[in-house]
Amino acid sequence: MRNKFSKLAFSAAFVLALAFIFSCSSDDNPSNSNQPNINSGSEISSSGGGGNGSSSSSYFLGQSSSAVLKECDAIFNPDNKFCYDGNVYDKCDGMLYDPASQICENGVATPTKCNGNGENYNPLTQICCGSSAILSNSTTEICTNNIVETRCGNNWYKQTTQFCYEGIVYDKCNGLNNYNPSTQACVTGDVVETKCGGNWYSQRTQFCVDSRIYNKCDGMVYPLASHICVNNVATPAKCGNESYNPLTQFCGNGIVKTYDSVTYQGQTYRTTVIGTQTWMAENLNYNVSGSKCNDNNESNCTTYGRLYDWVTAMKLPASCNSSSCASSISAKHQGICPTDWHIPSHAEWIVLVRYAGSSSDSVGKQLKVTSGWNENGNGTNDYGFSALPGGGGYSNGNFYSVGRSGGWLSASEYDWGASEDNAANMVYTWWIGDDVAWIPNEKSVILFSVRCVKD
């Protein structure tokens, strides 16, 4: 019996001793609970070099118990290097780290985040684009100026401000919302589903009468046949003491005058006689290839007409953008205007301006409509010209100044300084804002409104 107890005591002491040895071995192991796991028992001597502390590729860092990682073929020293998924890395201040989620900076293994506080990323397979992570070999995403662009058909788009629908890129509505272009449109920042005369409009800011779109007056619908919107107040239309219908008449220097009209391509345009000239009292809204709506918003075309580059308005070949086409320009050049009407020449614009007033600021006021201009820019519309602030655009797709000012094309190439290199590329244009001025502009760059004048 005594021998049995002695044997039991010896066995217990032996087990305790082994437990102590393994405990000490675990404490000495550099792979503690705060470090990535090492595949224990995988260290073997390298052939021909084991005497200098080198290790074969079998000594590798394991990402998780379920991950299957490649072993390294290279020979390395495990004292200062380690293997991860087939590649050898330097330890970080002598410590192991996870190359798929950390980088070693100044001897510290740091979690990888884009732009410091953005998305986590894997340095082995991803790159940062601003605060976002994308695959380094992606065929569907690219990084442009720190913004992720995604493929849509054959084009790239920015998901922050655009969306893709059936292979076509669209701007988000108000920069925020996607919509279905087959059943909806973006109008003045609203996603809308209503049309007026074939054009989309926002019922929040606009209303429809006789298939034409009008802006509300301080958010309210008002009677167009008897009122005008002045400083956001619907005001009875009066010319002196006489009431008039703003849809068909205007008040010219205290006298009620009636517009005439011309119908072209399915739309009826008001016309007005100013001195010896007869002008359209609206901007042309003929939807010809190459024409644009300011801000690509259809309701702007309904209100202000379309914007055109010079060769489109003149119906001339694109080569006229870079060379003079004076021999192809007739004295009364029809271009895209109706029959018996033409694009006004620079000289005809001068006749209009001189008839309307003696100073540029007074001319601008007399030619502008009585409502619709921002920043207290409304006019008196003394001659029924009804200039509206349709703004302008560029051939690169940018637009500007809608609601604040308006630009119009002339048929005349710029002929001042014919010795200048860029003279053949320029055309006379007219601009109405706080005042009236003519400005030479590049034919191929500028997009302006068109007013037709009668032959």
Residues 271 and 383 in one domain: yes
Of 142, 124, 15, 3, which Cα lies nearest the Cα of 70? Answer: 124
Among residues of the chain, what percentage have pLDDT more than 70?
A: 82
Please say if the pLDDT value at position 89 is more than 70.
Answer: yes
What pLDDT shows up at residue 425?
79
Q: Are 317 and 367 in contact (CB under 8 A)?
A: no
Q: Are 88 and 74 in contact (CB under 8 A)?
A: yes
Please say if the pLDDT value at position 121 is more than 90.
Answer: no
What pLDDT shows up at residue 400?
92
What pLDDT shows up at residue 118?
84
What pLDDT shows up at residue 144?
87
What pLDDT shows up at residue 361?
64
Residues 143 and 40 in one domain: no
Beginning with the edge strand found earlier in the chain, give each strand of the sheet holding 147-152 in spatial order.
Answer: 141-144, 147-152, 155-158
Total count of residues recorded for the chain: 455
Q: pLDDT-derived band of residue 358, with 50, 70 and 90 as boundaries?
A: low
Residues 51 and 106 in one domain: yes
pLDDT per position as a tens digit, 73-88 = 989 999 999 999 899 9
Write the CA distances from 9 to 1, 6, 19, 214, 410, integer angstroms: 13, 5, 16, 102, 113
Please say if the pLDDT value at position 316 is more than 80.
Answer: yes
Domain presence at residue 228: no
Give the mean pLDDT of 14-24.
43
Q: Which two tokens stand for residue 26?
A: 């675990």
Write the CA distances from 120 to 11, 13, 144, 163, 332, integer angstroms: 53, 51, 20, 24, 66
Residues 360 and 413 in one domain: yes
Q: Are 444 and 312 in contact (CB under 8 A)?
A: no
Residues 426 and 306 in one domain: yes
Q: Look up residue 161 and give its DSSP letter.
A: T
Give the mean pLDDT of 377-385.
91
Residues 94 and 131 in one domain: no
Residues 268 and 307 in one domain: yes
Residues 339 and 430 in one domain: yes
Give the mean pLDDT of 384-390.
94
What pLDDT shows up at residue 21?
40
Domain presence at residue 199: no
Residues 281 and 341 in one domain: yes
Q: Are 19 and 27 in contact (CB under 8 A)?
A: no
Domain presence at residue 254: no
Give the mean pLDDT of 97-125.
89
Asked whether the CA dihedral 36, 42, 43, 46 is positive or negative, the reply is: negative
Of 402, 400, 405, 370, which Cα lies nearest the Cα of 385? Answer: 370
pLDDT per position as a tens digit, 146-185 = 888 888 988 888 888 899 999 999 989 888 889 998 888 8
d(CA 451, CA 430): 11
Write the CA distances from 262 to 259, 379, 447, integer angstroms: 10, 24, 24
Domain presence at residue 249: no
Residues 154 and 279 in one domain: no
Q: Quick one: 408 exposed, middle or buried, by C-beta within 10 A (0-12, 13-18, 19+)?
A: buried
Please say if the pLDDT value at position 416 is more than 80.
Answer: no
Domain presence at residue 244: no
Q: How many structural domains compose the chain?
A: 3
Domain presence at residue 324: yes
Domain presence at residue 162: yes
Please say if the pLDDT value at position 314 is more than 90.
Answer: yes
Q: Are 366 and 372 in contact (CB under 8 A)?
A: no
Lowest-confidence segment of 23-32, 232-241, 303-312 by average pLDDT: 23-32
Range of the domain at 154: 126-171
Residues 82 and 46 in one domain: yes
Residues 290 and 417 in one domain: yes
Lowest-confidence segment of 172-181, 249-258, 340-349 by average pLDDT: 172-181
